[in-house]
Amino acid sequence: MPKIKFLNNILWPIVILVIALSVFYFKPWQTKPSETISVTAEGKADATPNVAQITATVESRNSNLDAARAQNEKKVTEIINRLKEIGVDEKDIQTQQISGSPSYEIQTQIYPPLPRPNTNVFSTSLEITIRNFDLADEVLQVLTQNGATNLYGPNLTLDETAQETAKSQARQQAVESARKKAEELAKLSQRKLGKTTNITEQGEPIYPTPIFAQSESDLKQRASQITPGQNEVVVSLSVEFELK
């Protein structure tokens, strides 16, 4: 009995060690990594711009800068009130920049000619978002009749909802295109295509190109002719598939 007990004390640690080494060597929990194929594809969706943005500057001049500021605030307030009256939402009227500084005139009677301050200029830049293109003419009329200058636009874009809808459609088309391309490549290598294992969107989606007027007079001519047309939203995806 002592001899059997002695053998048990020796054999059991050896058996346990062998099992542990076997598990470590063969690593049964590890599966053979699957082979994959990765392709890139673009998806496109038609998108009609439904938002126009116009930028305008309101400017006032006075020998006293504070007086110029007060005059300018009065003009801006009048413009905002008139825009709201014709149906522009207050949240779609945004102040872009406020500045106040002296302006200069060149003294030609001395040499070399030197600039000297002659008055003070206070200006406010507004960005107006138009969601109903029928209001474009009225918006411009409000701006020009109330002292706004340096009008630029229209920047034609998509609102958030339209962007997401177009992106979703473009992504779906991109995935379908990627699968078709991957199936062709798999067939050429005499393999079959399995499930999708990974999808990565590359870069930012491409939206309709903004349309700008070249000058204030150009914008006035275009205002009554704002036609959104139709452009494409483009999404590029990298899609990985399993190979069988």
In this predicted structure, the answer to whether residue 131 has a pLDDT above a threshold of 50 is yes
Q: Which residue has the higher pLDDT, 78 or 16?
A: 78
65-124 pLDDT, tens digit per residue, is 899 999 999 999 999 999 999 999 999 999 999 999 887 666 666 666 655 667 888 999
In the chain, what are the domains? 36-47+161-209+229-243 (3.30.110.170), 51-157 (3.30.70.2970)
At 76 the pLDDT is 96
**Residue among 208, 60, 73, 58 nearest 127 (CA):** 58
Q: What is the mean pLDDT of residues 127-144?
A: 89
Residue 141, judged by CB atoms within 10 A of its CB (0-12, 13-18, 19+), counts as middle
Residue 188, judged by CB atoms within 10 A of its CB (0-12, 13-18, 19+), counts as exposed
The pair phi, psi for residue 22, each rounded to 5°, is -65, -45
